[in-house]
Structures are given as C-alpha cells and as structure tokens.
C-alpha cells in the first residue's frame, strides 16, 4: 500500500511517517507540508493519504484527494458538521473511495468513549475534562466533543446546571449541544488525556484515558490505512473499524 502523509513535519505527521515506514505492508511514498504541492501525492502514486494538519486545511486536502482518486485518513481534529457534510459529498458511499475521520486513534480512548456511553443512562450528571499539550490550537478536543455526543445519544436526561453566579466567566466550561459540560486544560508536558466523571446519588464513576506518547495512536492509524479502501464513503470514528459501533 502506497501512503502519503500530509503534515509530515508536524508532531503527529512525523510519527505517522515512521510508523508507515516500519510497516511491512506499506511504503511511504510522499510526505508534504504547508508549502509543498499536493500534486506530489498523485505523482508518487499514493493510494491513501493521511492528514494530521489543521482544521482549516484538512477538508481542502481531503477534497483534493477525492478528486485525484486517493483514499483519505484524517486525524486532524476541530472539523465542523459542515466539514463532515462536505466530506460525505466528496466520498459518497456509492463511490469507489473511502475516507476515515477519527478524532482519536488510541484504542483506549475509543473504549473510554464506549464505556462513557454505556454508563450515561445510569447517571443524571456528567462532566468531561480533557487535558492536552500547550500547542493544541482547537478546544474542546475532538475526542471530548465526540464523547459528549455519544453520551447524549445514549441519554437525553441530564440534570440542570445549578450555577446562578459565574464569578469568573467560563468557570463552568463549555456546554456541548446535548448539555454535557466540557473543560479544556492546556499544559506543557501533557500529550492527550481525558476524564469523564459521572455522578448520581451517593456515587461517582470516573473513566480516564491517558495517551503518554504519540505512539499510542499508531496502531489505530495503520488500521485505518489498511481498512479505508474497503470502506467506501465517510466513516467517522475508529470504533467502526473495531466492531464497537
């Protein structure tokens, strides 16, 4: 499988380049960055492009890949519902091309989201705390957004926020569409971490996942690269590739 990496000089892109090079069934044929011509992907015969860039670039890159018959795996976070709709149009389920978008390629993080959705109907209150390194440009994280979405799909009944006075603006965090509060911490030394805390009378349940190293994402990225050609259309979330959805 011939693989091209977009954002190859970035923290994640460089790690993906190493993982693809080390995989027996893949070859890294191109690695491009912000000033490079995407044509290098097509010229090198890339069958799959892996994008770890910024939200403002990722969708345009994927649309270009679709036009050039290249399957796409997107790890970039911060994509909007409109972005996903554009990807769905560019990669129709009836077509020959696949696009996998996953806000978190770590198996433990996917299980954390799965467990949070399982727990949701049994608790009336829940909040999400996501913690990332101090260079992350989007907040909340894509993982936190997807976790909140999964939890509110599993349970629509969440207790009302009792806060009447917010002494410091934002103290209660951001509120997801379904009403689950999300708190984003940015600290030097962290990689990617998340806690989901659920509460009901007399007890709480805390589900926590930590990615200590970017290597944690690589098995999921390689699984997506191997699977994407066999999944025409848009797939959102690694859980679909793991049989968890």
Kindly state whether residue 152 participates in binding ligand NAP, applying the rule CB under 6 A: no
Q: In 3-state terms, what secondary structure has residue 132?
A: strand
225 binding ligand NAP? (CB under 6 A): no
Q: Is 187 in the site for ligand NAP (CB under 6 A)?
A: no
Q: Which of 104, 152, 227, 235 binds ligand NAP (CB under 6 A)?
A: 104
Neighbours of 49 (CB within 10 A): 27
Out of 3, 5, 10, 100, the residue judged to bind ligand NAP by CB under 6 A: 10
**Residue 89 phi, psi (nearest 5):** -65, -40
34 touches ligand NAP by CB under 6 A: yes
Angle at 42 between CA 56 and CA 95, to 5 degrees: 75
Size of the site for ligand NAP (CB under 6 A): 25
Verify whether residue 2 is a known catalytic residue.
no
Q: Does 157 bind ligand NAP (CB under 6 A)?
A: no
Q: What share of the chain is helix, strand, coil (3-state, %, to 5)?
A: 35, 25, 40
Which residue of 7, 98, 140, 237 would you call a contact of ligand NAP, by CB under 6 A? 7
- The full DSSP string for 70-89 is -EEEE------HHHHHHHHH
Distance CA 120, CA 61 (A): 36
- Check 71, 132, 193, 209 and give the catalytic one: 132
The residue whose two tokens read 């699977």 is: 227
Closest to 52 (Cα-Cα) out of 83, 18, 28, 75: 75
- Pick between residue 26 and residue 140 the one whose CB is nearest to ligand NAP: 140
Name the closest residue to ligand NAP (Cβ). Answer: 10
Site mask, ligand NAP, residues 55-74, x = CB under 6 A? Answer: --x-----------------
Q: What are phi and psi of 175, to 5 degrees?
A: -115, 120
**Which residue, 110 or 198, is less far from ligand NAP as judged by CB?**
110
Per CB under 6 A, residues contacting ligand NAP are 6-7, 9-13, 32-34, 52-54, 57, 75-78, 102-105, 136, 192, 217
């Amino acid at each position: 499988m011939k693989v091209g990496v977009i954002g190859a000089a970035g923290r994640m892109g460089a790690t993906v380049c190493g993982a693809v090079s080390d995989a027996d069934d893949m070859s890294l044929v191109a690695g491009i960055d912000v000033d490079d011509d995407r044509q290098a992907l097509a010229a090198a015969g890339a069958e799959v492009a892996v994008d770890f860039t910024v939200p403002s670039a990722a969708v345009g890159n994927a649309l270009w890949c679709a036009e050039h018959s290249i399957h796409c795996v997107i790890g970039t976070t911060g994509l909007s519902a409109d972005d996903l709709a554009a990807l769905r149009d560019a990669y129709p389920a009836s077509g020959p091309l696949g696009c996998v978008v996953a806000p978190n390629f770590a198996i433990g993080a996917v299980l954390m989201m799965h467990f949070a959705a399982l727990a949701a109907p049994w608790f009336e209150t829940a909040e999400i705390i996501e913690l990332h390194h101090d260079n992350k440009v989007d907040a909340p994280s894509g993982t936190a957004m997807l976790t909140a979405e999964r939890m509110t799909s599993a349970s629509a009944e969440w207790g009302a926020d009792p806060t009447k006075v917010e002494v410091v603006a934002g103290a209660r965090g951001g509120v997801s569409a379904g009403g689950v509060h999300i708190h984003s911490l940015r600290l030097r030394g962290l990689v990617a971490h998340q806690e989901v805390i659920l509460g009901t009378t007399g007890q709480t349940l805390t589900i926590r996942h930590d990615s200590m190293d970017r290597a944690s994402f690589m098995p999921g990225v390689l699984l997506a690269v191997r699977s994407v050609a066999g999944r025409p259309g848009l797939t959102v979330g690694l859980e679909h590739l793991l049989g968890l959805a």
